[in-house]
Every structure is written in structure tokens, then in C-alpha cells.
């Protein structure tokens, strides 16, 4: 492993790419700590120290590397881009125009990417407006009575803060595209990985301070076991063999080769957890906005008991069920068995023992549903780990080993290492993965 790292930095062009990525990450983390104009930094830090761990903004704060609660320039992080990408993926299935663009190849994908950028900026404006408005009213950080801003009445300051956070989101998009074009790996994924890892040491140290060294050691051992398990599942796949018939084109013979369709156990990635988390935050937001009333309705206390408290069994059961549902839903719209079977038939491919056309589609649907079930259970169990840890050892809900954090860290790290390994092997070096 160490020799592979040495070989990576010994190769001039690969070294430039890696140093370029590290430089972007340094600038990115600096912007995550640089406060937005008008923010009273000392007061914000005092509020963060006593913030409630059940804040409904934990997911966005996780993807911003803690920058959200600090109201920094990059407070929104990569979350608007993630949301816009998910929306465009769903709209491609619904809107025929977008589906036609997707089939046009690289030019159509470029237009979809441009639409994603526009939608990202629109969502950034909405999110920045909501966050700044909550900060001005004192509702962003629960239990904090200190003023967050120097001037809470100035409309011009409000607009400057919204514009600054929106511009920060645009810069983050640019950073991600720069890493993809000139660096190594997927730029957006690496930025998400950076923000998640940034909160990791603080979360671990928080466990040690609250529970002691014994619990800290147990958490570390469990964490290493979980990482090994996540790596095993993320690498697991079912390979469907595909044989292509020989055909004559002009005077040349084509086809006759064999390949396979890789169906991953976790075909949906982290998207179902994000969908389920977003839905489960809606009741918490409703409770937060109604708690300011002197006499809140009875349904507010009911929601607060069953849909806000992450340690309640009903909350965990609904969260788990939503993850399983969204896993099947997302896999069904991203892996079109009808399209795959049609393309195989068009190019003379077939699965040995299965007739082309409708029987191939039915077979792929059957295998996909069977392999998606353990993947959905795996996502649900991983996502419940921080909630169980919160109930057992009173850790905060950003528990380092579990949920979105561990899935992002392991997934992005594996993908980036594979890309570096492929470039090393092109230069006759041994890769990271033996």
C-alpha cells in the first residue's frame, strides 16, 4: 500500500492531479470556516456549543462539514446540487424531452448537466433564504438566545447573506467540475467525502468526552467491523452472463464475445437514505415551527413524541420501512430492465438459457428484485446504527460509524482508489487493491 502511494506521487502527471485535488480541498475547507458577512462569529460559536443534537438540519449540516450551523460562505455545502441531481434523475423518467436528451449521448447529457446547475442555484436561493430567515429569528439553533447577526433588521444585509451563500454553492459546483476534469475521481463525490470526514474526528472525540475511554474503544472496534462489512457489501455484485452472436458486417465478422451485466447488491447507493431522512425531517420541521406558539396544538406533542425522537421504536420502524421502499423505487427507475433487454436484442446479445426480448426482461426483473432485498435491508440497518447508538450510549445523531457518513466515506474512497489504481496499472505499477 505504501509503495503504491509512492508510485502515485512518483508519476509526474498523476502527482499533479493529486496535488491539484488536495489544493482544491484546502480552499474548500477554508471557505467552510469563513463566516458570511454580518454573522457574529463569537455568538454563533457559543450557540453551536449548546446546540440540540436533534436539530432538523443535521443532514444538511453533515453534508456541509459543520459549515451550516456556523453560517459560513459554504454553509449550504453540496446539498443543493445533490437535491437537483436527484430531481433531474426522477424527471428524466417522467418527461419525454429529458429522456430523449439522455439518449442523445454526450451532447444530451451536457444539456441535462446545465439544467442541473440552474436548478442547483434556484434551490440554493431557497435554502439560503430559509436558513438566514431562521437565523435572524433565532430558530436555527434550538435553545440559543444569543443574537446570531450584527443587524437583524437590515434587508440589505439579509440579501447579501443570501447572495453570498448562493455564490458559495456555485463555487462548490465549479470546484467539483474542476476536480472531475483535471484531478482524480468524481469531483462532487470527493467534496462530499471531504465534508463528511471533516466532522468525523469531532464526533469521535465527543463520544470519548461523554462516555469515557472504554466506550470509545468499543465504538472504534465496532466501527472497524462495520467498515469491513460495508466494503464487503459495496463490492458484492451478481454478474449476469451475456453472450453476443456472431454477425457479418461487410467483409468483417463481429460479435461472438461474452461479457456480463454487473448487478450490485447496493444498486441504489445512498439515495434511499437521503430520501427517507428528508421525509422524516418534515414532521420535525412542523414541530419546530409550531413550538413558538404559547399553546401549541395537541398534534405537535404527538409528532414530537413519535416522529421527532429518533430513539423511539416507531420512528425507527418507519424510517427502516421508508428506506426499503425508496431502495426498490430508485432501483426501478435507474435500472430499466425493458431498455436493457431491448438493447441486448438490438445488438444480438442474449443470456444463455434465456430467450431474447420479454423473457430476458422478466429474468432481469426477477434477479434484480431478489438482489435488491438484501441491499435494502443492509441500507436500513446501516442507517439505524446512529439512532441505536443515540438510544444506548447517548451519542449524538451524527454518530461517526453509521448512516450516511460511513456509506459516503467507504463508497467514495473505494471509487477514488480504483481510479488511481487503474492509472497506476496503465503505467505498469501495482495498484492499491491486490
Residue 106: pLDDT over 50:
yes
More confident residue, 66 or 278: 278
- Residue 10: its H or E element: helix 2-10
Look over the chain and give the mean of its residue pLDDT values, rounded to a whole number: 77
pLDDT in tens, 376-385: 998 888 888 7
pLDDT band at 400 (very low <50, low <70, confident <90, very high): low
Residue 216: pLDDT over 70:
yes
Lowest mean pLDDT among 42-46, 248-252, 290-294: 290-294
More confident residue, 402 or 378: 378
In the chain, what are the domain boundaries?
34-183
How many other C-beta atoms lie within 10 A of the C-beta of residue 413? 18
More confident residue, 50 or 425: 425
pLDDT in tens, 164-214: 989 988 999 899 889 888 888 788 888 888 877 877 777 777 777 777 778
pLDDT in tens, 325-367: 989 988 888 888 888 888 888 877 888 888 888 888 889 889 9
As a whole number of angstroms, the distance between CA 198 and CA 399 comes to: 13
pLDDT of residue 148: 61
pLDDT band at 56 (very low <50, low <70, confident <90, very high): very low
pLDDT band at 59 (very low <50, low <70, confident <90, very high): low
As a whole number of angstroms, the distance between CA 381 and CA 194 comes to: 24
pLDDT of residue 345: 82
DSSP string, 123-168: HHHHHHHHHHHHHHHT-SSTT--S--BS-SS-HHHHHHHHHHHHHH
DSSP string, 186-220: -HHHHHHHHHHHHHHHHHHHHHHHHH-HHHHHHHH
Angle (CA) 330 334 340, round 5°: 140
pLDDT band at 52 (very low <50, low <70, confident <90, very high): very low
As a whole number of angstroms, the distance between CA 287 and CA 364 comes to: 44
Lowest mean pLDDT among 46-55, 62-71, 109-118: 46-55
Residue 47: pLDDT over 70:
no
Give the CA distances from residue 270 to residues 164, 188, 406, 410, in Å, rounded to whole numbers and listed in that order: 29, 14, 10, 11
Most confident of 56-70, 141-155, 197-211, 285-299: 197-211
Residue 122: pLDDT over 80:
yes
How many other C-beta atoms lie within 10 A of the C-beta of residue 412? 22
Angle (CA) 393 394 397, round 5°: 115
| 98 Cβ contact list (under 8 Å, min separation 6) | 88, 91, 92, 112, 115
Residue 146: pLDDT over 60:
no
pLDDT in tens, 259-313: 888 888 888 887 788 778 777 777 766 666 665 556 666 666 676 666 666 667 7
Amino acid at each position: 500500500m505504501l509503495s503504491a502511494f509512492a508510485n502515485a506521487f512518483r508519476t509526474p502527471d498523476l502527482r499533479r492531479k493529486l496535488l491539484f485535488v488536495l489544493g482544491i480541498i484546502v480552499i474548500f475547507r477554508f471557505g467552510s470556516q469563513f463566516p458570511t458577512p454580518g454573522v457574529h462569529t463569537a455568538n454563533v460559536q457559543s450557540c453551536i456549543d449548546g446546540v440540540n443534537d436533534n436539530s432538523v438540519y443535521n443532514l444538511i449540516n453533515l453534508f456541509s462539514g459543520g459549515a451550516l450551523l456556523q453560517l459560513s460562505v459554504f454553509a449550504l455545502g453540496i446539498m443543493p446540487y445533490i437535491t437537483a441531481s436527484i430531481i433531474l434523475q426522477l424527471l428524466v423518467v417522467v418527461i419525454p424531452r429529458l429522456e430523449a436528451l439522455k439518449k442523445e449521448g454526450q451532447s444530451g447529457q451536457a444539456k441535462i448537466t446545465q439544467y442541473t446547475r440552474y436548478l442547483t442555484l434556484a434551490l440554493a436561493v431557497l435554502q439560503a433564504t430559509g436558513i438566514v430567515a431562521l437565523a435572524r429569528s433565532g430558530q436555527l439553533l434550538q435553545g440559543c438566545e444569543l443574537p446570531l447577526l450584527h443587524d437583524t433588521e437590515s434587508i440589505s444585509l439579509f440579501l447579501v447573506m443570501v447572495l453570498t451563500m448562493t455564490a458559495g454553492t456555485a463555487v462548490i459546483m465549479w470546484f467539483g467540475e474542476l476536480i472531475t476534469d483535471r484531478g482524480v475521481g468524481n469531483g462532487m463525490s470527493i467534496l462530499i467525502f471531504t465534508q463528511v470526514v471533516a466532522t468525523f474526528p469531532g464526533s469521535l472525540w465527543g463520544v470519548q468526552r461523554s462516555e469515557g475511554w472504554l466506550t470509545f474503544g468499543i465504538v472504534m472496534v465496532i466501527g472497524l467491523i462495520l467498515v469491513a462489512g460495508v466494503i464487503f457489501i459495496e463490492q458484492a455484485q451478481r454478474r449476469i452472463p451475456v453472450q453476443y452472436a456472431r454477425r457479418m458486417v461487410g467483409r468483417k465478422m463481429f460479435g461472438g464475445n461474452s461479457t456480463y451485466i454487473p448487478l450490485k447488491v447496493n444498486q441504489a447507493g445512498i439515495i434511499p437514505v437521503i430520501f427517507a431522512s428528508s421525509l422524516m425531517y418534515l414532521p420535525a420541521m412542523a414541530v419546530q415551527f409550531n413550538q413558538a406558539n404559547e399553546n401549541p396544538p395537541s398534534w405537535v406533542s404527538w409528532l414530537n413524541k413519535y416522529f421527532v425522537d429518533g430513539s423511539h421504536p416507531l420512528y425507527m420502524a418507519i424510517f427502516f420501512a421508508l428506506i426499503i421502499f425508496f431502495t426498490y423505487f430508485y432501483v426501478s427507475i435507474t435500472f430499466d430492465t425493458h431498455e436493457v433487454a431491448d438493447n441486448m436484442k438490438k445488438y444480438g446479445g442474449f443470456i444463455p438459457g434465456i430467450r431474447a426480448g420479454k423473457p430476458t426482461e422478466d429474468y432481469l426483473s426477477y434477479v434484480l428484485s431478489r438482489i435488491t432485498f438484501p441491499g435494502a435491508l443492509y441500507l436500513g440497518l446501516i442507517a439505524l446504527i446512529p439512532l441505536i447508538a443515540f438510544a444506548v450510549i447517548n451519542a449524538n445523531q451524527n454518530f461517526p460509524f453509521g448512516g450516511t457518513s460511513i456509506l459516503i466515506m467507504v463508497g467514495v474512497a473505494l471509487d477514488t482508489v480504483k481510479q488511481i489504481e487503474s492509472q497506476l496499472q496503465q503505467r505498469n505499477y501495482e495498484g492499491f487493491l491486490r
